[in-house]
């Protein structure tokens, strides 16, 4: 469903005019829809029915506290990859017993914090991590529930920079070595092996890679049980894609859930899934204003006040994002390069894109930016981080304000010898 729709020629988010937010907040800004977040979460929950399921929102996709709390209030747990994300999840009210800790480089201090807060499980990514976690847990007189993250050597058929389940990727334990590592884990006093975990990538648009990986890990669980391990949890990770382009139609949650039930339900494990992009991606837009319309020799440019530091995906991944005017027009579309003000040729959101003719101060919306948008932003070129705004029904609230230049510059400190 589309929760950013036109009414009487104007774009609305839920029941709020996007142009009204722009008038009060100023551009550029991120705008998130509570109705979209709710709809996406409930799609996943309803698709799995009565299966013993824990949905852990992958916090890395969007770390705004209001977004995390909205999903937490719906029943989501959290998948975190750093102490900072763990602290965010706890601060947003996610119970520690619904938090799983992923990530390839958990430090001793991060382990201590997670153990002291009694999180649900650690998704262990390597043998060295296993030994350090056992040592840390034992020193605290605690036992860490762990799943091993298995690298199943499966091609997710997604962008190379967001593929995580092939043998050459840095993530997880090679599936061929899982038995021997689990045998070692069983001998450690600070560890309780409770399951296996995998995550093969992001923005996956077909079910076959999932099924191949899940089938492989199902066989491993059966083997580990024969070896005497009490495997009760199976963490299937996330990765289900969203539509960015019109002809890009990923599987629906009900199709994904049907496959999961068919492949793994006979194991009787508690199933954990870690959706991120699917929950928040289409729930957000980036609203920007046209600064100049510039005609080059061969190109026509819309220069807008948003930039690559605000949304890096097009520059980093050559990612496609649909771009629409905030106010509809009956005029025939025109080809534009849509670019930002940063001093980089890579500061380009779209090339040769058909858009309604626009002029200075017109507003446009870059769609599907709720995931890996604000969370990857920076202050490059000493540009202010842009506000995040959450809409619910006919209300909106700024959930991260725009900092001042003093806020940004004030983070720097002078060296002692420079103050003389």
Residue 80 falls within a domain, yes or no?
yes
Closest CA to 17 of 26, 6, 28: 6
Mean pLDDT lowest among 212-216, 245-249, 258-262, 298-302: 245-249
- Condensed to tens digits (0 to 9), the pLDDT of residues 188-243 reads 999 999 999 998 887 888 899 899 989 989 999 999 999 999 999 999 999 898 98
User: Are 285 and 274 found together in one domain?
Assistant: no
User: Are 190 and 271 found together in one domain?
Assistant: yes
pLDDT, residue 154, reads 66
Name the percent of the chain lying above pLDDT 70.
95
pLDDT, residue 199, reads 86
pLDDT, residue 160, reads 45
Residue 164 falls within a domain, yes or no?
yes
Cβ(197)–Cβ(235) under 8 Å?
Answer: yes
What is the arithmetic mean of pLDDT over 329-348? 94
pLDDT, residue 420, reads 62
User: Are 325 and 398 found together in one domain?
Assistant: yes
- Condensed to tens digits (0 to 9), the pLDDT of residues 248-259 reads 688 899 999 999
pLDDT, residue 171, reads 55
Res. 369: pLDDT tops 70: yes
d(CA 196, CA 208): 20
**DSSP string over 212-239:** HHHHHHHHHHHHHHHTT----EEE----
pLDDT, residue 169, reads 45
Q: What are 381's two structure tokens? A: 């070129």
d(CA 318, CA 301): 18
C-alpha distances in Å from residue 117, one per residue of 83, 95, 136, 235, 349: 11, 10, 14, 21, 42
d(CA 118, CA 30): 34
Per the model's pLDDT, the better-predicted residue between 226 and 177 turns out to be: 226
Long-range contacts of range 79-87, CB-CB < 8 Å, 24 or more positions apart? 79/238, 79/274, 79/276, 82/110, 83/109, 83/110, 83/113, 83/114, 85/59, 85/60, 86/110, 86/113, 86/114, 86/117, 86/119, 87/113
Per the model's pLDDT, the better-predicted residue between 137 and 175 turns out to be: 137
Which domain does 326 fall in, by range?
4-32+281-409
Q: What are 4's two structure tokens? A: 């950013």
User: Are 197 and 303 found together in one domain?
Assistant: no
Res. 167: pLDDT tops 80: no
User: Are 19 and 115 found together in one domain?
Assistant: no
User: Are 188 and 323 found together in one domain?
Assistant: no
Residue 58 falls within a domain, yes or no?
yes
pLDDT, residue 395, reads 98
User: Are 365 and 347 found together in one domain?
Assistant: yes
- Condensed to tens digits (0 to 9), the pLDDT of residues 61-99 reads 999 999 999 999 999 999 999 999 999 999 999 999 999
Closest CA to 91 of 115, 59, 61, 123: 59
Residue 351 falls within a domain, yes or no?
yes
pLDDT, residue 118, reads 98
**DSSP string over 238-300:** --B----STT--PPPHHHHHHHHHHHHGGG-PEEEE--SHHHHGGGEEEEEEEEEEEE-SS-E
Mean pLDDT of the chain: 92
Which of 279, 298, 326 is the C-terminal boundary of a domain?
A: 279
User: Are 25 and 47 found together in one domain?
Assistant: no
Cβ(97)–Cβ(120) under 8 Å?
Answer: yes
d(CA 119, CA 113): 9
C-alpha distances in Å from residue 89, one per residue of 86, 93, 283: 5, 7, 19
pTM here? 0.94
- Active-site residues, by number, are 343
pLDDT, residue 272, reads 97
Residue 84 falls within a domain, yes or no?
yes
Res. 347: pLDDT tops 60: yes
First to last CA, the chain: 61
pLDDT, residue 69, reads 98
d(CA 16, CA 33): 10
Res. 351: pLDDT tops 90: yes
User: Are 263 and 312 found together in one domain?
Assistant: no
Which of 216, 244, 279 is the C-terminal boundary of a domain?
A: 279
What is the arithmetic mean of pLDDT over 392-397? 98
Model confidence at 155, pLDDT cuts 50, 70, 90, reads low
| Peptide bond before residue 28 is cis, with ω within 30 degrees of 0 | yes
Residue 157 falls within a domain, yes or no?
yes
What is the arithmetic mean of pLDDT over 51-68? 97
Give Cβ neighbours of residue 311 (< 8 Å, ≥ 6 apart).
286, 321, 349, 366, 369, 373, 376, 377
Provide the CB-side half-sphere exposure for 200 (13 A, CA). 25
CATH number of the domain to which 293 belongs: 2.40.37.10
C-alpha distances in Å from residue 115, one per residue of 6, 82, 102, 134: 48, 13, 14, 11
- Condensed to tens digits (0 to 9), the pLDDT of residues 106-136 reads 999 999 999 999 999 999 999 999 999 999 9
Alpha helical stretches, state H, 140-207: 178-185
Cβ(189)–Cβ(134) under 8 Å?
Answer: yes
pLDDT, residue 45, reads 95
CATH number of the domain to which 171 belongs: 3.20.20.10
Res. 368: pLDDT tops 60: yes
C-alpha distances in Å from residue 314, one per residue of 26, 29, 63, 102, 310: 23, 17, 20, 26, 11
Model confidence at 166, pLDDT cuts 50, 70, 90, reads very low
Per the model's pLDDT, the better-predicted residue between 320 and 246 turns out to be: 320
pLDDT, residue 201, reads 81
Model confidence at 378, pLDDT cuts 50, 70, 90, reads very high
d(CA 26, CA 20): 10
pLDDT, residue 202, reads 76
Strands 284-295 and 334-339: unpaired
User: Are 180 and 267 found together in one domain?
Assistant: yes
The total number of structural domains in the chain stands at 2
User: Are 209 and 309 found together in one domain?
Assistant: no
Cβ(285)–Cβ(389) under 8 Å?
Answer: no
Which of 226, 245, 279 is the C-terminal boundary of a domain?
A: 279
Residue 418 falls within a domain, yes or no?
no
Res. 279: pLDDT tops 90: yes
User: Are 194 and 342 found together in one domain?
Assistant: no
Res. 177: pLDDT tops 70: yes
User: Positive or negative CA dihedral for 223, 224, 228, 230?
Assistant: negative
* Number of CB atoms found within 10 A of residue 292's CB: 12
Residue 420 falls within a domain, yes or no?
no
């Amino acid at each position: 469903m589309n929760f950013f729709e036109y009414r009487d020629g104007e774009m609305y988010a839920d029941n709020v005019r996007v142009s009204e937010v722009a008038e009060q907040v100023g551009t550029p800004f991120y705008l998130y829809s509570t109705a979209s977040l709710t709809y996406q979460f409930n799609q996943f929950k309803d698709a799995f029915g009565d299966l013993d399921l824990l949905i852990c929102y992958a916090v890395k996709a969007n770390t705004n506290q209001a977004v995390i709390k909205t999903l937490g209030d719906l029943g989501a747990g959290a998948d975190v990859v750093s102490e900072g994300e763990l602290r965010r999840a706890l601060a947003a009210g996610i119970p520690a017993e619904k938090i799983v800790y992923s990530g390839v480089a958990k430090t001793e201090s991060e382990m201590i914090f997670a153990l002291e807060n009694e999180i649900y499980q650690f998704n262990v990514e390597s043998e060295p991590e296993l030994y350090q976690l056992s040592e840390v847990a034992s020193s605290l007189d605690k036992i860490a529930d762990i799943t091993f993250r298995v690298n199943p050597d499966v091609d997710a058929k997604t962008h190379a920079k967001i593929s995580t389940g092939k043998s050459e990727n840095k993530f997880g334990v090679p599936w061929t070595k899982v038995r021997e590592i689990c045998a070692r884990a069983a001998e450690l006093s600070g560890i309780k092996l409770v399951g296996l975990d995998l995550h093969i990538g992001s923005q996956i648009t077909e079910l076959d890679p999932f099924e191949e990986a899940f089938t492989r890990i199902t066989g491993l669980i059966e083997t580990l049980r024969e070896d005497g391990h009490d495997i009760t949890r199976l963490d299937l990770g996330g990765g289900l894609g969203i539509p960015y382009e019109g002809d890009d139609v990923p599987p629906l949650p009900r199709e994904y859930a049907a496959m999961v039930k068919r492949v793994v339900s006979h194991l009787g494990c508690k199933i954990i899934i870690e959706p991120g992009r699917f929950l928040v991606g289409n729930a957000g837009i980036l609203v920007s204003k046209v600064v100049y319309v510039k005609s080059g020799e061969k190109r026509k440019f819309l220069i807008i006040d948003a930039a690559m530091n605000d949304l890096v995906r097009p520059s980093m991944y050559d990612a496609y994002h649909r771009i629409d005017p905030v106010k509809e027009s009956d005029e025939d579309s025109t080809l534009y390069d849509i670019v930002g003000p940063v001093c980089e040729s890579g500061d380009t959101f779209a090339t040769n894109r058909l858009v309604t003719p626009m002029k200075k101060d017109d507003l446009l919306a870059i769609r599907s930016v709720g995931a890996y948008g604000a969370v990857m932003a920076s202050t490059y070129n000493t540009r202010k981080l842009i506000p995040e705004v959450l809409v619910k029904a006919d209300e909106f609230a700024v959930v991260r304000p725009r900092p001042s230049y003093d806020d940004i510059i004030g983070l720097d400190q002078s060296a002692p010898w420079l103050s003389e």
